[in-house]
């Protein structure tokens, strides 16, 4: 009980510090922290993506709930936790995040269903389609052995959901694992994902309603084994940050720059600087969030995975600066 009171007190102090910060980003102590929503509850939104719509930021992420277990018979550390669906939080100042509920519900006891809690539902990203007036969510759908490797798609009439699941696909019959989604200024949207057994990444143009991949795609970072893509644009140039491929364990990030999202992408090296830069400060990137009120300002959103207790995974959100076309991410 004493412990419980102490933890509650610490959370309360942390939440006050969070509320009072003048920064746009939470006061993240070294190497990640739990972030609290406006009810004081830990934010459960891993592998996140953020959509800005009509003055509001909507944060979507994986709900990780329950006991972590190790999938037997794999030659890698295949730690899993029940897939709890996709959560949504909203904020107007990037400091206070209000819980908006489960945007995409999982299903239980239906192993054949993509959204069964026994599946992998990861890295959700949402964009808005101006023509269909639908919010479109893409995510990585898999089975525990990661051989299903598909992109799942869901739609909603309102940003926070609920989203209706439409099904999953292998774009151009290619594997899709870690992924992100990018909507460009001209309204075209792209899926960017680890493919070919994580060896090579693909950038694939979506069709006009954003619900299907087109046959237009390119292969990038051939045989480089990159994952966790996070893409953004600044002053007409595209930037793509990726991690290496070491499961839940941290590794060095790398970024590439391009004049055209379909490439060529020119590798620039590690955007992280300072102590533990080669471990991305013990995180793995998931998204780069443009701060709408401050053009040229971005937030690098990383996950600090706790692989043996995945629901305890934390977050590391850091300012990302660009100077002379070069990215710099430092842990404060
Ligand atoms: C990572 C990936 C995570 C998760 C994990 C499973 O490489 O980035 O999203 O899929 O593997 O081990």
Token pair for 118 = 């026994």
Mutate to test the pocket of ligand 1, among 74, 145, 178 (most ligand atoms within 8 A of CB): 178
- Residue 270 CA to ligand 1 centre (angstroms): 20
The pLDDT, as a whole number, for residue 25 is 53
- Residue 55 CA to ligand 1 centre (angstroms): 32
Residue owning the nearest CA to atom 2 of ligand 1:
247
Residue owning the nearest CA to atom 12 of ligand 1:
247
Q: Are 89 and 97 in contact (CB under 8 A)?
A: yes
Topology of the domain covering 46-330: Tachylectin-2; Chain A (2.115.10)
- Residue 2 CA to ligand 1 centre (angstroms): 36
Spatial separation of the C-alpha atoms in residues 42 and 34, rounded to whole Å: 6
What global pTM score does this model have? Answer: 0.91
Spatial separation of the C-alpha atoms in residues 125 and 123, rounded to whole Å: 7
Tens-digit pLDDT string for the chain (332 aa): 334 333 333 333 333 333 332 344 544 445 678 899 999 999 999 999 999 999 999 999 999 999 999 999 998 899 999 999 999 999 999 999 999 999 999 999 999 999 999 999 999 999 999 999 999 999 999 999 999 999 999 999 999 999 999 999 999 999 999 999 999 999 999 999 999 999 999 999 999 999 999 999 999 999 999 999 999 999 999 999 999 999 999 999 999 999 999 999 999 999 999 999 999 999 999 999 999 999 999 999 999 999 999 999 999 999 999 999 999 999 87
Q: Measured in Å, how far apart are the chain's first and last C-alpha atoms?
A: 34
* Atom of ligand 1 minimally distant from the CA of 47: 9
Residue owning the nearest CA to atom 6 of ligand 1:
247
Token pair for 66 = 């329950």
Residue owning the nearest CA to atom 1 of ligand 1:
247
* Atom of ligand 1 minimally distant from the CA of 177: 10
In whole angstroms, how far apart are CA 188 and each of 54, 57, 145, 208? 19, 21, 33, 7
Map the chain to HEC letters.
CHHHHHHHHHHHHHHHHHHHCCCCCCCCCCCCECCECCCCCECCCEEEEEEEECCEEEEEEEEECCCCEECCCCCCCCEECCEEEEEEEEECCCCCCEEEEEEECCECCCCCCCCECCCEEEEEEEEEECCCCEEEEEEEEECCCCCCCEEEEEEECCCCCCCEEEEEECHHHCCCCCEEEEECCCCCEEEEEEECCCCEEEEEEECCCCCCEEEEEEEECCCCCCEEEEEEEECCEEEEEEECCCCCCCCCCEEEEECCCCCCCEEEECCEECCCHHHHHHCEEEEEEECCCCCCCEEEEEEECCCCCHHHCEEEEEEEEEECCEEEEECC
Q: Are 29 and 18 in contact (CB under 8 A)?
A: no
* Atom of ligand 1 minimally distant from the CA of 123: 9
Q: What are phi and psi of 277, to 5 degrees?
A: -60, -35
* Atom of ligand 1 minimally distant from the CA of 76: 12
Mutate to test the pocket of ligand 1, among 121, 122, 250, 283 (most ligand atoms within 8 A of CB): 122
**Residue ranges around ligand 1 (CB below 6 Å):** 47, 122-123, 178, 227-228, 247-248, 284
- Residue 247 CA to ligand 1 centre (angstroms): 5
C-alpha gyration radius of the chain: 19
The pLDDT, as a whole number, for residue 30 is 55
- Residue 163 CA to ligand 1 centre (angstroms): 24
The pLDDT, as a whole number, for residue 12 is 36
- Residue 186 CA to ligand 1 centre (angstroms): 31
Token pair for 310 = 């995945």
Q: Are 124 and 104 in contact (CB under 8 A)?
A: yes
Spatial separation of the C-alpha atoms in residues 201 and 233, rounded to whole Å: 18
Which of 300, 185, 166 lies closest to 237 in space, CA to CA?
Answer: 185
Q: What are phi and psi of 278, to 5 degrees?
A: -75, -5
* Atom of ligand 1 minimally distant from the CA of 198: 7
């Amino acid at each position: 009980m004493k412990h419980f009171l102490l933890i509650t007190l610490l959370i309360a102090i942390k939440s006050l510090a969070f509320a009072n910060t003048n920064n746009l980003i939470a006061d993240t102590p070294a190497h990640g922290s739990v972030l609290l929503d406006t009810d004081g509850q830990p934010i459960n939104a891993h592998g996140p993506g953020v959509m800005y719509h009509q003055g509001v930021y909507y944060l979507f992420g994986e709900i990780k709930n329950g006991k972590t277990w190790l999938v037997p018979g794999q030659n890698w550390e295949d730690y899993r936790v029940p897939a709890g669906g996709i959560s949504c939080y909203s904020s107007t100042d990037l400091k206070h995040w209000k819980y908006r509920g489960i945007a995409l519900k999982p299903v239980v006891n239906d192993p054949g269903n993509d959204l069964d809690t026994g599946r992998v539902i990861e890295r959700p990203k949402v964009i808005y389609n101006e023509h269909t007036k639908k919010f479109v969510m893409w995510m990585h759908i898999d089975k525990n052995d990661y051989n299903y490797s598909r992109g799942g798609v869901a739609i909603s009439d309102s940003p926070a959901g609920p989203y209706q699941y439409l099904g999953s696909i292998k774009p151009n019959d290619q594997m899709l694992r870690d992924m992100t989604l990018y909507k460009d200024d001209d309204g075209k949207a792209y899926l960017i994902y680890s493919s070919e057994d994580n060896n090579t990444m693909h950038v694939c143009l979506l069709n006009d309603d954003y619900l299907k991949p087109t046959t237009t795609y390119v292969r990038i970072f051939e045989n480089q084994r990159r994952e966790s893509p996070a893409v953004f644009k600044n002053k007409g140039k595209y930037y793509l940050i990726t991690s290496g491929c070491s499961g839940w364990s941290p590794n060095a990030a790398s970024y590439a720059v391009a004049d055209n999202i379909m490439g060529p992408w020119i590798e620039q090296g590690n955007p992280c600087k300072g102590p533990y830069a080669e471990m991305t400060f013990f995180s793995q990137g998931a998204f780069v969030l443009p701060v709408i009120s401050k053009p040229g300002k971005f937030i690098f959103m990383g996950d600090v995975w706790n692989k043996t207790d995945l629901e305890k995974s934390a977050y590391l959100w850091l300012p990302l600066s660009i100077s002379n076309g070069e990215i710099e991410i430092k842990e404060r």
